[in-house]
Amino acid sequence: MAGRVSRRVLAAVTALGLAIGLGACAPEPDRVDIGVDQVDGALPSDLTTQMQELTQTAMTSIGASGAIVSVSVPWSGEWTAGVGTSGVGGPKVDPSMTFKAVNATRPMTCDLLYALVEKGTVKLDDTIGKWLDSYPGESTVTLAQLCDSTSGIHGYLNEIFSRVLTVPERVWNPRELVAYGLGQPASFAPGARFGESDTGYVLLGLVLERASGQSLDELYDEYVFQPLGMGSTSVPMGVGGGDRLKGSYLDSGEDGKPNCKAPLDMTDLTSSVGSSAAGAVSTVSDLSTYVRALAVGARPYDTDQRFEGAPPISDSLPTWFTAKGGAYQGGSLVGQYGSLPGYMVAAFADRQTGMSVVVVLNDSRASSNVARLLAWQLAALASKAPAADGRTAPEVGLPWTVESLGEELAGYAICGG
């Protein structure tokens, strides 16, 4: 009897060891070459001086103490800089600091959808009801509509915002976030138009986990982070690792206006409040690599269909400002922007050249349009960068100027100079 038990134990241990060994030897995804021929050198100093001035102007307008910026121009050079301090009176911003990448998470979640479509696991026109029976009211919404933000599903963040500010360390279950969004009436009929929905991206994450039998962590690592070498990026439940840029949110003064001298420390806000809609933690270096790959279609699952026929954001905005596939398109740029308490972020790249701009500002009280407009100002400057020796500057025509965006950006200012 004892001998038989010992053999069983030995067999079990051997099987476990074999499984662990096989897991350890499992091949990692192939590294993707994004195919952008980047000049190895710095952008001209007169150009980066202008970029730093624009960044400081945006910071001052919203009460941010710090910013991190990355501008990569393939034919000319690169500029990556930390501007200001990490928190009021804190250390100088280091460009390698991590931060919440907020809405840049959304195209990453759509990446998972397109990767699983390419694999044959799901289809774009699959409905929520095919994979989840917990949401009968939304059962006919398709996975493509969740990714494209055309589902009409109400957002959740406004419903929990006061609690997020009060208890930033709370860990949120994604199903709870979805419940807050679905507890509100739909904004419009599925497919009728574009309308941002953080609930939709969290719901898409739940569907993809169910369909693949893998966790979101595993899916992001397999299809997004590892192939692009994004070693500093994750979608944690907590606040993420690394040397973090301190984030803040301006509290209201007695007059109800933002108190620009008394920011709330929101650095430790959990990423769980963003989940698969806004939960990524990253660096500007990783986001620059990511948005370039997204723009030029470098991954095996990338397809032109993802961005084709993108609808305008609204009737009141220019027709060249569109959205589809988890990303915004402004002229030839594609990317994302947005905010969570503590940070506002914008990351865009040119679909023809791979030129990229990433911006993070460490305060979020103002409209996240500030981050987008700053990124687009920097892109306008970058598009005119002179060619390095032996290179030729391409024609990059953007439908705006630094000056025109400056006027618009000034309208979002909440703090004085």
| Most distant CA atoms of the chain, gap in Å | 86
**In the numeric block, which tokens belong to residue 203?**
């719901």
Question: What mean pLDDT comes out for the span 57-77?
Answer: 98
Nearest CA among 245, 250, 254, 253 for reference residue 264 = 250
Q: Is the dihedral of CA 224, 221, 33, 96 positive or negative?
A: positive
Residue 145 in any domain: the answer is: yes
Start-to-end C-alpha separation, the chain: 84
CA distance 87 to 95: 14
State yes or no: pLDDT of 295 exceeds 90. Answer: yes
**Cα–Cα–Cα angle for 69, 379, 279, nearest 5°?**
50
Residue 156 lies in a domain: yes
Q: What mean pLDDT, rounded, does the chain reach?
A: 93
Q: Is residue 234 part of a domain?
A: yes
What local confidence, expressed as pLDDT, does residue 243 receive? Answer: 94
Position 239 in a domain: yes
Alpha-carbon gap, residue 196 to 199, rounded angstroms: 9
Task: Give the integer Cα–Cα distance in Å for 342 and 198.
Answer: 17
Decide if 12 is inside a domain.
no
pLDDT attached to residue 12: 36
DSSP calls for 173-237: PHHHHHHHHHTS--SS-TTSS----HHHHHHHHHHHHHHHTS-HHHHHIIIIITTTT-TT-B--S
CA distances from 100 to 158, 234, 244, 288 (A): 18, 10, 9, 14
pLDDT 10s digits, 167-208: 999 999 999 999 999 999 999 999 999 999 999 999 999 999
| Domain range enclosing 129 | 29-410
210 assigned to some structural domain: yes
Domain CATH for 143: 3.40.710.10
Cβ proximity of 67 and 58 under 8 Å: yes
Above pLDDT 90, what percent of the chain?
A: 88
What confidence score (pLDDT) does residue 52 get? 98
Tens of pLDDT along 119-174? 999 999 999 999 999 999 999 999 999 999 999 999 999 999 999 999 999 999 99
- pLDDT, tens only, 305-359: 999 999 999 999 999 999 999 999 999 999 999 999 999 999 999 999 999 999 9
Identify the CA nearest to 65 among candidates 364, 300, 306: 364
Question: Does residue 112 belong to any structural domain of this protein?
Answer: yes
Distance in angstroms (rounded) separating the CA atoms of residues 264 and 286: 27
- Phi-psi region at 150: left, alpha or beta (left = phi > 0; alpha = psi -120 to 50): alpha
**How many angstroms separate the CA atoms of 362 and 248, rounded?**
6
Please report, for residues 287, 321, 336, the alpha-carbon distance to residue 107 in angstroms, rounded to integers and kept in the order given: 12, 17, 8
Q: How confident is the model at residue 288 (pLDDT cuts 50, 70, 90)?
A: very high
Using one digit for the tens of pLDDT, what is the confidence trace for 211-265? 999 999 999 999 999 999 999 999 999 998 889 999 999 999 888 899 999 899 9
Domain assignment of residue 272, yes or no? yes
What value does the mean pLDDT take over residues 374-383? 98
**Cα–Cα distances in Å, from 362 out to 167, 269, 372, 373?**
19, 13, 14, 16
* Number of independent structural domains in the chain: 1
